[in-house]
Amino acid sequence: MTPLEQDALICLRYKIYGTLVRMPVCVVSELALGQEFNPEIQRETADVYRAALEGMLAKGWLRVVDKTPEERLAKLRAAGWIGPNPHWVPQKGDLDFTCKGFALYRRVCQANRTAYPESLLCVEESRRVAHFVASTKTQCLRTFRESMGSTPERYADYLASYVGGAVRVLRVEEPERVGRWMEREVSPHRGGWRIQVHYQRIRRCRVELPELGVKGWRETVRLTTITGRVRPAGATKALYFDFSEDRDQDGAEPASYRPRLIVYDGVTTPKPIMTIYHGERVRAGGIGDGFTHFQWQGSTAYPNPMTPEQAVATLREGILAWQSRQLSY
């Protein structure tokens, strides 16, 4: 496998799938991103990578997927396979490795020491369980720690990002031997080890402050958060806000938490503006992620997590601080 062919496979390495038309453009984008960190990376045109991909199709290293994910995954489930993660599989018409091509690519990566251990993180929403699978018990534990951290109190925070919503972890099973599993459809494993995490979804609660134009949702897992939109009277659009609890680093033990509100204004302020509201510092301005934001931090430290009443009352206080800042212009 030539260096050019290896470069042309960069998207498939990271499970970024696409058609023969789209894939070469994605390869150029990925390598351009890599050049920002390593100027020595060489980059060709999309036409050159397309020719390389066509050559690997002819050699039987790549294939065009001819069935939908639903058809393929249903067949695998019926046969008792664990995985792959349905969010990381190619669509019908996309390019993917063949078993022969993936085995060859793995050997090349192992030879140049860029190979990574195969492992699976797959959420089975119908049973409310997340699977962490790898070939060995040691690698299974490593996969779990890399995905969930080492602090049990934070497991729900990490798992929420995979589930797509707030969750409560009910229990974590000990590692157990399992049979057939796969991270990729082209790389089946006949045995391995699995850790299962059982969870339940957290019910979101509606939060509305009509007089302040606030509509949002409150979630409480380890911390209390309220996210939503605020649209003051007379405003032409609603703005996004995020309300959460920050640890009071200067507070007495046990740790206490002070609420923080950020409203993303979407307008440019040349420099941060410092003002005072009810004895607390208020910072407006500063550009983050393309948005100018207003930030307010409450003066009272609350237990963790806050009660619903405390959260709503403090959100009201923060929104009033933001509106006070708006009226000052």
Strand order in the sheet with 257-264: 205-209, 214-220, 224-230, 239-247, 257-264, 291-297, 280-288, 273-277
- pLDDT tens digits for range 250-284: 555 556 788 889 998 765 443 333 333 333 444 43
What mean pLDDT, rounded, does the chain reach?
85
Give the whole-number percent of the chain exceeding pLDDT 90.
56
Q: Euclidean distance between the first and final Cα of the chain, in Å?
A: 64
Whether residue 181 is predicted with pLDDT greater than 90 in this model: the reply is yes
Q: What is the mean pLDDT of residues 159-164?
A: 84
- pLDDT tens digits for range 62-110: 999 999 999 999 999 999 999 999 999 999 999 999 999 999 999 999 9
Q: What is the mean pLDDT of residues 147-155?
A: 87
User: Which of 24-38, 197-211, 263-277, 294-308 shows the lowest mean pLDDT across its residues?
Assistant: 263-277
209 — phi, psi (to 5°)? -125, 85
- pLDDT tens digits for range 284-302: 333 334 445 788 888 888 8
Q: Which residue has the tokens 């039987």?
A: 60
Q: What is the mean pLDDT of residues 110-128?
A: 92
CA–CA gap between residue 298 and residue 228 (Å, rounded): 19
Whether residue 111 is predicted with pLDDT greater than 60 in this model: the reply is yes
pTM comes to 0.67
Q: Which residue has the tokens 């290293």?
A: 61
pLDDT value of position 328: 53
Nearest to 286 by CA among 300, 296, 276: 296
